[in-house]
Structures are given as C-alpha cells and as structure tokens.
Amino acid sequence: MIKRIFTLSLIYIFPVLLFGQEIKNEFVVHFSGKDFPKFVENIGQNIFSRNAETLIITPFTTKENNEYFHMKVSENSADTWYSLLSSSKEISGLEYNTKLEWRDKRPNDPRVNEQWYLENIKAFEAWNITTGGPTENGKEFVIAVIDDGFLTNHEDFADIFFINNNEIPNDGKDNDGNGYIDDYSGYNVKLQNGSITSETHGTNVIGVLGARANNNIGISGINWNVKILPLVINATSLDVEKALEYVLRMKKLYLENNGTKGSNIVAVTYSGGISKRFASSFPNWCNLYNLLGQQGVLSIGATTNNNDDVDFVGDMPSTCESNYLIMVTNTDQNDVKARQAGYGKKHIDIGVPGEDILTTTDQAKKYTTESGTSLSAPILAGAVSLLFSSNCTAFQNFYDNSPSLGTLKIKEILLQSGDPAYYYKSGQNADLLEVTTTGKRLNILNALDSLRVRYNDCIPGLSETGELKITDILILNNLAQVNYVSENNAEIELIVFDALGRILKKGTVSPQILGKKVYVLDLDDLSLNNELSPSQVLFIGMSQGKSKAGKGFYYNLK
C-alpha cells in the first residue's frame, strides 16, 4: 500500500523546474557552513575583481543559524556563480529560483461553480496545461457541430465561430469554389445557404463545448477559445449525410490547398439520431465516418436517451462500425450512467457527464439546465480540441503526415485515459465495463497527460538538455526500472510527480560506474495526499548539474 503522506516546503519546489521558467541570476541555496556571506566573498573574489557585481543575499529561515538563502547576482556572471556554488562541498542544495504555474486554473465566469462536471472530468487541472485556441504558430483547430440551429449572437459566444475568409457573405455566390453558396460562417443544409437560424437544442450543445471562458460572463466552455463550424439541418438522415459531406469537403480543401482554403476540422459532433434502427439500413451514413476519419476528422455521436441496449435493439449512429467514431453515453455527478441513456458492450464507448448540465439557451442572455447524451457529445468534442491545442509538436507532425492514424491516436487516448464509471444493476452500482467498450468516464487531464507521455516534447522542461537522457521506463509489478545515460558519474537529483505536479518522491541517484545505468523505483514507496484521487500518469525527472531529463509512464496507484 502507498503511504498517504504529503509534505511541501519552499526548498522542495524542485519539480517545478521541469515546468517553469528559471530566473538564471537568482539561486536558492542550502548552505551547511557557518558564514554564508563570508563564504560568497571568498569564492567570488575573481568575479568582484573583474566586474561591478550586483549581489543580494537574503536568508529565509527563522533558525538562529540560517541555512537557506536567496542569492541574486548580475546576469552576466550568473553562470560563473552557479558553477562555483555547485562545485563547493559546503553547498548542500542549489536551485535556480523558478517561476511557478498556478494549479487548478479557474476562469472568472460567474456561473462556473454551477458546472459540476468540470470537477469530475478534471477540466480545471487540464486548463493549467491548455485552455484551447490556436497553437503557438497560429494553427487553428475547428470543431464542426451538426444540429437544428444556433443562436450565434448569444452573449457568451463572442468570436467562437469559424470564418471562411475565402467566401463573401450574402452575395449569393460560391466565391471559394467549394460547391456551397455563402458559407461564410457555417452552412444551413435546410436553406442551402449560410444563414444560421436559431434553435434551442443546438444552442444548448455549443454552450458546453465553446461558451467563451474567462470573460466574466455566464459559463465556461470546455475550450476557452474554440472555433466552431455550425451546420443547420432538418431532422432527417439525408440532412445528416449532407452535413457530414460538407465537413468532408471542407477538410479535403484544407489539406489539398495547404491550409489556404477549407477548414482544419479535427472533429465533428452530432447530438441526434434514430432509435431502434441498425447501421445495416444506413450504409452511406456510416461510411461517411470512415471517409472523414481518413482525412483526419474524428466523429462523435450521442447515443439514445432511452435505457436501451443498442447492441440488441439498435440505434443510429451508435451501431455504425467505423473506427473513427466515438459513441458516448450520459453519466451523472456520481459517475453513474443516467437511467435514461443508451448502453452497449459493443457499440457504446465511454461515459461523459450529461445530467443537470448548465448551458446556454436561445435567448441572448439566458442559461438553462438540461440533461441528456446531447450534452455529453459536445463535452467530448471540447476535449478533442484541447488535445489538438496543447502545442505538442511531435504529435502535430504525426497528425499532419498521417491524419488518419493521428485521428485514431486521439480516439485511443481519450478512451484509455478515463476514470472508472458505473451503471445501475439490480438496485446497486455495477462496473460500466459490463455495458460499454471501456467502462470509463472522460478525464481530460488524464487524456492530455497520456498525450504527453507518448510525446515528451508536450511537457515544457521534460525534453532533454545536456547529455542526461532517460531511455525507457519498464514496469514490473510494483517496480519501475528507469534506464538512463549520463555524461558523468556525478550524483543525480531525482523526483517523481503526478499529472498535477504533486511530489510523490524526491531523492538522489548515484550512477553506476560500470555497465548500464539503471535506477529501480519502488512504486509502493510513493507518497500521495490521501484527499486527492490517484493518477494514471506519473513523471520522473532527473537533474545532473545543468543537464535535465524526464519521461512519463502509466501506473495506477492503489
């Protein structure tokens, strides 16, 4: 069993060095000698003789014999000071002062505390990694939403809709040659133009996905700075297929024209369907999911709001067999499947909150609480957009070179990284795995960290600097074998922390002089605050002088 202990003091802030920006001319020093100012004067004689040196030394312990000091030096001599201090036997610990990041990032929207599901899916913690929007190089990711209509001028929808800059609005022409007239900011399949009409259901859907966050208005969408492509349809299978065909055309144009035309759509979500019907009757509908996936578009569907086993009674699009489709069911505050929500061991993939969800409605300054799988699907779509906006260059390159495989990777990450969920069975809770493919409920933080485990460059500071490298981490029962290489045999500082940056272990490693360098971590020795839920993703960081390395791995703490 893991000991449930949690301690933190200023001197143990070392793991943040892997995330934060170092202040290169400020040090935190643990001094084991008797007179630190005198010590500094002695070792810095050459620096003082050459430069007009700025030197500020401040103790920050209350003990009679101060041990810990904040030392600020001139920027042009910072490297020399670091070298002098790190080579002295009287220095027990040396760190750069480092800027921190605030955990549990909360937007200032006045009703965010009523959005209970944000806690369940770890949205606040995930937002500490990314809040959405374009990448650092300006690449925009778009979510297409198919529904009955949208109130585009709602007070909480400022600047959330995709703009087709190759189209001139309301001129009655197809300016960009994509086959559609006036699709400047979405498309109305019903009217065959760009007029986005208003309806309640669609406005509910896009509110949870992309209501503008941190704007002191209303609620917070999953993606703070999303771009939504709204598609208005009649309630017919033909219109769904027309809308999916539009998404396919726009993504193809984007890929064929190097981003100068079309739209970089990464997911499409539709919160509707046909109960008690099977995919065999709708081969064209289902095949569109395959065609979209091959172009890099992940499709998300909401299963029926009936307590149906769709594997046996049918549901569309739940029973489509496409690998590029995720079907969601609805879970409540206790991570239990809603009584009025579909299920299926073969066809329903994951639970996503959908009960008593506060969202936008079709009055410009109004909000409402709704329930249903219709709210679950756009929440998952928001999670997809956050994964893409996490500035993970290695994944983005992989996706750009192979959109189909990149889409499957996003699906795999979302489905594998969730938390356990349940359903009512004979008056008590049973494992949701009995009636879905994964048995899980969405966890956005775990999904982001799962992406970061696969692609270390997603984690600022975990990419190697210097010759220190972690080559791999092998898990056997309760042991993690960390294989690494280092430039010398100097002592290595080691930390283990979870997805929230919580310290689980801190210590030192003495590299083997001969042979392969291996450190064996006993996972049962890790410490975690007993008030916080276990993490599925852990990180190991190593520091040897100025060389740093880090790597993530999976492990379920018990």
CATH number at residue 80: 3.30.70.260
174 is a domain residue: no
Tokens of 349: 């993939």
> For residue 533, what pLDDT band results from cuts at 50, 70 and 90?
very low
Q: Strands, E, within 32-81: which ranges?
A: 55-59, 68-73
Q: Examine the domain organization and report whether 218 and 266 are in the same domain.
A: yes
What CA–CA distance (Å, rounded) separates 297 from 336? 29
Amino acid at 193: N
Domain boundary among 454, 485, 500: 454
Q: Mean per-residue pLDDT for 381-408?
A: 92
Q: Examine the domain organization and report whether 450 and 468 are in the same domain.
A: no
CATH number at residue 320: 3.40.50.200
502 is a domain residue: yes
CB 63 within 8 Å of CB 80:
no
What CA–CA distance (Å, rounded) separates 111 from 102? 21
Higher pLDDT, 28 or 452: 28
Q: Examine the domain organization and report whether 153 and 289 are in the same domain.
A: yes
Contacts of 185 (CB under 8 A, 6+ apart): 152, 161, 162, 163, 164, 169, 194, 196, 230
For residue 300, give its domain range: 112-129+146-166+197-454
CB 358 within 8 Å of CB 115:
yes
Tokens of 54: 């700025």
- Quickly count: other Cβ atoms within 10 Å of residue 307's Cβ: 14
416 is a domain residue: yes
Q: Is the peptide bond before 317 cis (omega within 30 degrees of 0)?
A: yes
Q: Examine the domain organization and report whether 380 and 488 are in the same domain.
A: no
Pick the range with the lowest mean pLDDT from 13-27, 352-366, 483-497.
13-27
78 is a domain residue: yes
Amino acid at 459: I
Q: Examine the domain organization and report whether 370 and 517 are in the same domain.
A: no
CATH number at residue 538: 2.60.40.3080
Is the pLDDT score of 539 beyond 50? Answer: yes
pLDDT at 499: 63
What own/partner pairs with CB < 8 Å and gap ≥ 24 does 353-356 have?
353/116, 353/117, 353/120, 353/121, 353/379, 353/441, 353/442, 354/328, 354/329, 354/330, 354/379, 355/330, 355/331, 356/116, 356/332
Pick the range with the lowest mean pLDDT from 6-20, 26-40, 471-485.
6-20
Q: List pLDDT tens digits, range 51-93.
A: 667 788 888 765 656 688 899 998 888 888 998 998 888 898 8
138 is a domain residue: no
Domain boundary among 403, 428, 454: 454
Q: Examine the domain organization and report whether 32 and 124 are in the same domain.
A: no
CB 355 within 8 Å of CB 305:
no
Among 237, 186, 230, 236, smallest CA distance to 210 is for 230
Q: Examine the domain organization and report whether 419 and 538 are in the same domain.
A: no
Q: Examine the domain organization and report whether 364 and 436 are in the same domain.
A: yes
361 is a domain residue: yes
328 is a domain residue: yes
Three-class DSSP category at 97:
strand
- Consecutive H or E run containing 252: helix 237-256
Q: List pLDDT tens digits, range 193-225.
A: 999 999 999 999 999 999 999 999 999 999 999
The partner residues of 324 in beta bridges, in order of sequence, read none
Q: Examine the domain organization and report whether 381 and 421 are in the same domain.
A: yes
In degrees, to the nearest 5, what angle opens at C-alpha 14 toward C-alphas 78 and 58? Answer: 50
Query: How many structural domains is the chain composed of?
Result: 3
Q: Examine the domain organization and report whether 503 and 419 are in the same domain.
A: no
pLDDT at 455: 74
What CA–CA distance (Å, rounded) separates 253 from 183? 14
pLDDT at 169: 94
Share of the chain above pLDDT 70, in %: 89
Q: List pLDDT tens digits, range 318-344.
A: 999 999 999 999 999 999 999 999 999
Q: Examine the domain organization and report whether 449 and 466 are in the same domain.
A: no
Q: How many CA atoms lie within 13 A of 319 on its CB side?
A: 19
Is the pLDDT score of 16 beyond 80? Answer: no
**Residue 477 burial by Cβ neighbours in a 10 Å radius (0-12, 13-18, 19+):** exposed
What CA–CA distance (Å, rounded) separates 392 from 398? 10
Q: List pLDDT tens digits, range 147-194.
A: 999 999 999 999 999 999 999 999 999 999 999 999 999 999 999 999
pLDDT at 438: 97
30 is a domain residue: yes
pLDDT at 159: 96
Pick the range with the lowest mean pLDDT from 348-352, 366-370, 505-509.
505-509
Domain boundary among 454, 482, 500: 454
Q: Examine the domain organization and report whether 441 and 476 are in the same domain.
A: no
What CA–CA distance (Å, rounded) separates 6 from 18? 20
Q: List pLDDT tens digits, range 259-301.
A: 999 999 999 999 999 999 999 999 999 999 999 999 999 999 9
